Amino acid sequence: MSLRPIAASRLEPEMRLRLWEGVLEKFFFWVWISVAAILFSGIYMMAQIGRPPAYVSLMFVIGIIMMAIFAHVFFAPFKRLRNAVAENDWQKGSAALSQIRTLVGINLILGFVTIAAGSLGRIMG
């Protein structure tokens, strides 16, 4: 929302892709830590309540899907981005970055659905 528009308008492809590779490398480190914390705390909380309500189970399933999408992003398109930058192949790098953006967008939408499920699930009982 902030970095992408400026990078796209002011940086040449090679600088832009090198920037994104570095930013995503640091960001993904923290995502892995967050994924582990969310997964283990979620499983722990579900174990504490016994049989979870349907909305909690829905949140868990969506969370697992989001984690799988992130793992795919990390091990496939991000790997392709890193390889493209190392090989100075800006066309392949741009394609990989585009795929990363699409999948992160899907995860963002799934995150909003998860928040809605948690909020509405408590209201609807």
Reported confidence tier of residue 40, pLDDT bands at 50, 70, 90: very high
List the one residue out of 32, 29, 21 whose CA is nearest residue 88. 21
Residue-wise pLDDT for 42-96, tens only, equals 999 999 998 999 999 999 999 999 999 999 999 999 999 999 999 999 999 999 9
How many other β-carbons are positioned within 10 Å of the β-carbon of residue 9? 8
d(CA 104, CA 99): 9
Asked if residues 70 and 31 have their Cβ atoms less than 8 Å apart, the reply is yes
**pLDDT at res. 7:** 92
pTM: 0.92
Reported confidence tier of residue 122, pLDDT bands at 50, 70, 90: confident
- Between the alpha carbon of residue 100 and those of residues 30, 41, 72, 77, 107, the distances in Å are 16, 27, 9, 6, 11
d(CA 125, CA 118): 11
Residue-wise pLDDT for 9-31, tens only, equals 999 999 999 999 999 999 999 99
Domain segments of the chain: what residues? Answer: 3-124
Report the percent of the chain where pLDDT is more than 90: 91
Asked if residues 39 and 61 have their Cβ atoms less than 8 Å apart, the reply is no
d(CA 83, CA 17): 11
